[in-house]
Structure 1
Amino acid sequence: MSKDIHPVDNYCRSYWMSNPDKLANYRSTVDLPLHSDIVIIGSGYSGSACAYYLYKYGQSNKNPLMITMVEARETCSGATGRNGGHLKPDVYYSYKRYSEKYGRKIAESLMQFEAKHIQAMSALISEENIQCDWEVTRSCDAYINLELAEEAKASFQQRCADGADVDDIHEIPSDDLLAITKVKNVVYGITFTAASIHPYKLIHHLLNKCIEQGMNLQTNTSVLNATRLPSGQWSIVTSRGTIHTSKVIFATNAYTAGILPLFNNKIVPVRGTICRILPSLRYQQSPLKMTYSIRIKESQFDYMIARQTGDRSIILGGAKPAHHSETKIWYNNWDDSIEFINEKSKNYFEEFMPKYFDGWGTDDGGCQEFWTGILGFSSDLLPFVGELPDQSNGYIIAGFLGHGMSRILLCARALVDVILGRMKNIEELIPEPYVITRSRLATKENCILKHMGVHVGPIETDERTA
């Protein structure tokens, strides 16, 4: 693994970033503060949610918090500003695998934790009056592959047999599959509550609120090194100077190992690609109402949200069949300067809707934008959250596998409760397998390539391949 993991300067722009917020390149002060109570590295969902809860629960008139957020590029230009805008909890798909690895109780806690994010996000948006195109809807997993469908059904049935409350999860009757999903050749379908959102608007609303309460935001400021000093404080060396802080939160996701070497091989940057499509005339007149995962093969699915606002454009991500065999172009690759991974992935997206959706037609507006994003894949396929072992006052919230929208909010709230001393044990607030431990860091296990459907020998990935 290369240790030179850092955000590139010449990044492409996503659809969400097309109308930059006033905070895009904002600096609260001309100079970098020399000292801070808390430094948050990263201005995406994790960092912004942590900042929001720190002010919500830790701010007081007598002892105002001095929080500095540093961002290597413009605000929310990493994975959060490039994702699918899809808050889709895993409520059955991984249950069997989790149960076999962790046991029924923990497997159920992992399912419930993600499902709780729908209500938690709804409450946040309502309380703060956030205008971010939030839409609670149903999500549909449509299976094209019969063998994969049987595995998914077995996982759902096991959760049912284990006594879980699955009233929200509906299997689509076989006779209604095409009518309900509108997906060609679908052999199995299942729906449950999910949501869509404009992630960029969400984050900028939270950050504006934090700045109003005194947070110092410093964009275009790369962190080069973070070291815990013998005094217990942390030294944060940046491209514009050094900050000393009592506590630091690494909300750095895919770029974590570039700052904290102990995460080398534990959080790996994985490059993904995504696009925005204008629907055909028929689908403009009868729009899709659900969000989707189209599951084609093992470890290969495409995800999409049909936006219910504006031009009702469709955000589509994935295209793994077009590039997953070319491991070097996506594994341990943090270059998001190009719009799409390769020409095959571009063609895959352009052909996707007429190929899979019934009666799509040939009069669509096509792909309007393509962009790449860098996901942070953890070696055991679960995020790292909590205080760094043997490095007190250093905290991590990273490694979300492109699935952070249904995990981050409550992780951030839990982490803040620990940082502020409101709760001692973070494992009482989040699923136990999320908690960072010495044993998780020590294991040599790396499940990423297998999870992505690559069954090959060791991959040489020290050099990026654009």
Structure 2
Amino acid sequence: MADSLEDQSLPQQRVTSEYLPVQNSSQSIWQQEAAELAAWNPTSPIPQEADVVIIGAGYAGVATAYHLLKKIDESGGAQKRLSISIFDARGPCSGATGRNGGHLRPDLYGRIPTHMARSGVAAGSEIAAFEIANLRAIEKVIEEENIDCDLKLARVTDVWCNPEAAQRAKANYDVMVNLNLDYMKDVCFNMGEEAEEISGVKGARACASYTAGQLSAYKFIVSLLKSMVDAGRVDAHSHTPVTEILPAKEGGFLVKTPSGTVFARQVVHASNGYVAGLLPEYSRNIIPCKGVCCHIDVPQGAQRPPSLPGSYINRASDHMLSYLISRDNGSIVVGGKASMLTSRREQWYHNVDDGADIDGAKGFYSDYMQKTYRGWEESQAEITKIWTGVMGYSFDTNPHVGVVPGRPGQFILAGFNGHGMPVIFLAAQGLAALILSDETLTCHDVGVPRLFQTSRARIEVAQQYAEEDGDILGTGRAFSQATHSC
């Protein structure tokens, strides 16, 4: 059993090179298409002080700043104006936010039965409801702020090709339906020949569909940040990594960067897979892992195959999952295949080099559409761009949100397991409420699922397991054993 964090001094907050983003990163299709936003590279003189310093200019950091400002505005002057500074080691959305697969997909029943088995029906079902609410909240803010980010609401289709996996999926679906959860009314489940006919996926044994969304997270978040900076309400600093955080004698923190030191009254850690660089106690809880994504299109002049109706999660076999969206122009964005990468562990596990490919990834997806979808056999579809991105995988599969244990005045919003799009926006709203109020409040007090609350207990559970038990493929088994009685 690891020593309690209360019984030892917390480690120093000084970043090491293993947690600093590389500068020669690959470029995603989202960054390539939004050239006018990519050219916007915010910078300004380092302030001497700030009420809130946010580390990370991706989805989590920008959403937190947005909600802080919204809450101040909604208070009608009851809360003082905040000075907010955002620092990023590269630039806005240069990390996972600008490299994802474009999904905005609540998980209504896939992981939810596992959460229910571990922690009870109420705790599990509130995550599904939270993710649905997140989808609607993002739709609303995009409309209110008039952001062009290719948002589209459509059905997502989950597909299982393995017969045993299809039966397990049906059993999970039946459990959720029998619980009389309202959101399950939106789910349509089909098995047998109907599954292949409805999904268009060759060899499908089961499929389920429900309402989800897709968008360019890069356009969404960079546009949101740019509007706050242009309004003079946030200052943002590209190519300015935070290298050290020290307690200030008068309270608050000295936040050190290569460009100078800022006095901050509060600090938000929103760098996801890189967060353990400044919070070493999370090194076994949130691990940087690389994923692969690519853009597929039909060559100019070739006959277009049948358009796909929305987005997909395809499971060719157990642990062989690919996620896919069909864009309005007929092109495809697809990624995943984690099990294909298992034998190349050093290329993806605890690896922050998103400038390097993972061996075999391009070869796998080179004829993916022809192999997988009916009507695409003669399409000549080919990869036009492939890239990698660094995600933050949490030991127990839940994000960490709240006050950093043992570090009052510092907050965390990280560890999204490649599933941040339907979680982060409202989690940031809850975190903003914590920052502006009494730090004794919990996630549940501010509308965030209770299982997302960061805690000493969660940190210590991860620290009990050996490296081979705590990697991403072993996490589920190890954590299931640790929480079997829950």
Query: Distance between the aligned counterparts of 1:114 and 1:90, measured in 2?
Result: 7
Query: Distance between the aligned counterparts of 2:366 and 2:142, measured in 1?
Result: 34
Query: Distance between the aligned counterparts of 2:87 and 2:40, measured in 1?
Result: 11
Q: Is 1:250 paired with 2:269? A: yes
Q: Is 1:33 paired with 2:56? A: no
Q: Which moved more, 1:286-295 or 1:132-141?
A: 286-295
Change (3 A) 1:451 1:151: farther
**3-state SS in 2 of match to 1:223:** coil
Q: What amino acid is the match of 1:357? A: Y
Q: Is 1:392 paired with 2:411? A: no
TM-score normalised by L of structure 2: 0.87
Change (3 A) 1:108 1:22: closer
**3-state SS in 1 of match to 2:254:** strand
Question: Paired residue for 1:214?
Answer: 233
In the alignment, structure 2 segments of 5+ residues that lack a partner are: 1-15, 479-486
**Pairing 1:136-175 to 2, within 5 Å after superposition:** 136-165=153-182, 166-172=184-190, 174-175=192-193
Q: Is 1:417 paired with 2:401? A: no
Change (3 A) 1:452 1:179: farther
1:296-321 Cα offsets, whole Å, 9 max, x none, are 2333200000012xx32110001334
Question: Paired residue for 2:9?
Answer: none
**Pairing 1:167-246 to 2, within 5 Å after superposition:** 167-172=185-190, 174-211=192-229, 212-246=231-265
Question: Paired residue for 1:464?
Answer: none
Question: Paired residue for 1:57?
Answer: 71
Q: Is 1:102 paired with 2:119? A: yes
Among all aligned residue pairs of Structure 1 and Structure 2, give the percentage whose two residues are the same amino acid: 31
Query: Distance between the aligned counterparts of 1:333 and 1:137, measured in 2?
Result: 34
Q: Is 1:13 paired with 2:31? A: no
Question: Paired residue for 2:140?
Answer: 123
Question: Paired residue for 1:459?
Answer: none
Q: What amino acid is the match of 1:68? A: S
Question: Paired residue for 2:279?
Answer: 260
**3-state SS in 1 of match to 2:367:** helix
Change (3 A) 1:22 1:286: closer
2:88 touches 2:239 (CA, 8 Å); kept in 1?
yes
Query: Distance between the aligned counterparts of 1:387 and 1:307, measured in 2?
Result: 39
Query: Distance between the aligned counterparts of 1:95 and 1:203, measured in 2?
Result: 28
Q: Is 1:88 paired with 2:105? A: yes
Change (3 A) 1:216 1:23: farther
1:51-87 Cα offsets, whole Å, 9 max, x none, are 1111111257794321111010021110000001101
Q: Which moved more, 1:433-442 or 1:226-235?
A: 226-235
Question: Paired residue for 2:10?
Answer: none
Q: What amino acid is the match of 1:289? A: P
Aligned residues: 449
Change (3 A) 1:279 1:294: farther
How far the C-alpha of 1:417 sits from its partner, in A, is 1.2
Q: What amino acid is the match of 1:355? A: K
Query: Distance between the aligned counterparts of 1:420 and 1:194, measured in 2?
Result: 32
1:418-448 Cα offsets, whole Å, 9 max, x none, are 1112894322311111001111111125654
Question: Paired residue for 1:322?
Answer: 340
Q: Which moved more, 1:220-229 or 1:44-53?
A: 220-229
Query: Distance between the aligned counterparts of 1:188 and 1:448, measured in 2?
Result: 30
Query: Distance between the aligned counterparts of 2:281 and 2:126, measured in 1?
Result: 28
Query: Distance between the aligned counterparts of 2:477 and 2:38, measured in 1?
Result: 40
TM-score normalised by L of structure 1: 0.91
**Pairing 1:263-412 to 2, within 5 Å after superposition:** 263-279=282-298, 284=304, 286-308=306-328, 311-338=329-356, 340-342=357-359, 344-412=360-428
Query: Distance between the aligned counterparts of 2:151 and 2:253, measured in 1?
Result: 38
1:385 touches 1:411 (CA, 8 Å); kept in 2?
yes
Query: Distance between the aligned counterparts of 1:228 and 1:54, measured in 2?
Result: 23
Q: Which moved more, 1:265-274 or 1:117-126?
A: 117-126
Question: Paired residue for 1:47?
Answer: 61
Q: CA RMSD in A?
A: 2.3
Query: Distance between the aligned counterparts of 1:185 and 1:98, measured in 2?
Result: 30
1:14 touches 1:81 (CA, 8 Å); kept in 2?
yes
2:369 touches 2:377 (CA, 8 Å); kept in 1?
no
Q: Which moved more, 1:117-126 or 1:406-415?
A: 117-126
Q: What amino acid is the match of 2:405? A: P
Q: What amino acid is the match of 2:177? A: C
